């Protein structure tokens, strides 16, 4: 079977229509997660008004990962018999993630409802477009060229 040419692989024409991380999302892990989620969805899946909620969701995921790592290191119960202080953080982060994922339709129920079923799968995003989304500056804004 002949190999396919790299020119036949579909890529999104531009990520300018993709949702960009808000400038105040300065945590590198949360910012990277934001871009991963946006790149995994169709370009028209999110609207500009979704950016703050998606950023909050990404922060909650990072907090959940941090709390899980803290529990793994310290244990669920401390030496004095008290529960770990990581437990309430893990609980709050998990609750926030669950709520926001429903609102953003990132959970299985939101993805597979008949009204939200995608007509076509998302096109792959090129490495350069992904890196452009991770940068804090925008090349298309005036005054960013130096």
What confidence tens digit (pLDDT) does each residue in 123-141 have? Answer: 777 888 878 888 866 555 5
For residue 146, what pLDDT band results from cuts at 50, 70 and 90?
very low
Let me know if residue 3 belongs to a domain: no
Quote the domain boundaries for residue 24: 19-134
Q: What confidence tens digit (pLDDT) does each residue in 14-70 have?
A: 544 789 999 999 999 999 999 999 998 888 889 999 999 999 999 999 999 999 999
Let me know if residue 6 belongs to a domain: no
Let me know if residue 87 belongs to a domain: yes
Q: What confidence tens digit (pLDDT) does each residue in 66-125 have?
A: 999 999 999 999 888 999 999 999 999 999 999 999 999 998 877 665 555 556 666 777
Question: Residues in the chain, how many?
Answer: 146
Let me know if residue 146 belongs to a domain: no
Let me know if residue 144 belongs to a domain: no
Rounded to an integer, what distance in angstroms lies between the CA atom of residue 115 and that of residue 126? 29
For residue 6, what pLDDT band results from cuts at 50, 70 and 90?
low
Q: Do the Cβ atoms of 19 and 133 come closer than 8 Å?
A: no
Let me know if residue 76 belongs to a domain: yes
Rounded to an integer, what distance in angstroms lies between the CA atom of residue 107 and that of residue 113? 10
Q: Who's near 70: CB < 8 A, 6+ residues apart?
A: 84, 86, 89
Q: How many domains does the chain have?
A: 1
């Amino acid at each position: 079977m002949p190999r396919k040419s790299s020119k036949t692989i579909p890529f999104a024409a531009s990520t300018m229509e993709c949702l960009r991380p808000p400038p105040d999302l300065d945590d590198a892990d949360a910012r990277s997660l934001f871009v991963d989620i946006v790149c995994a969805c169709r370009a028209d899946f999110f609207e500009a008004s979704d950016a703050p909620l998606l950023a909050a969701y990404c922060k909650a995921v990072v907090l959940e990962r941090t709390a899980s790592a803290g529990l793994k290191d310290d244990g669920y119960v401390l030496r004095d018999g008290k529960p770990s202080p990581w437990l309430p953080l893990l609980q709050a982060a998990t609750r926030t993630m669950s709520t926001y994922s429903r609102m953003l339709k990132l959970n299985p129920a939101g993805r597979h409802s008949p009204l939200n079923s995608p007509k076509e799968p998302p096109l792959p995003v090129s490495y350069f477009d992904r890196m452009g989304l991770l940068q804090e500056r925008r090349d298309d804004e005036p005054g960013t060229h130096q």
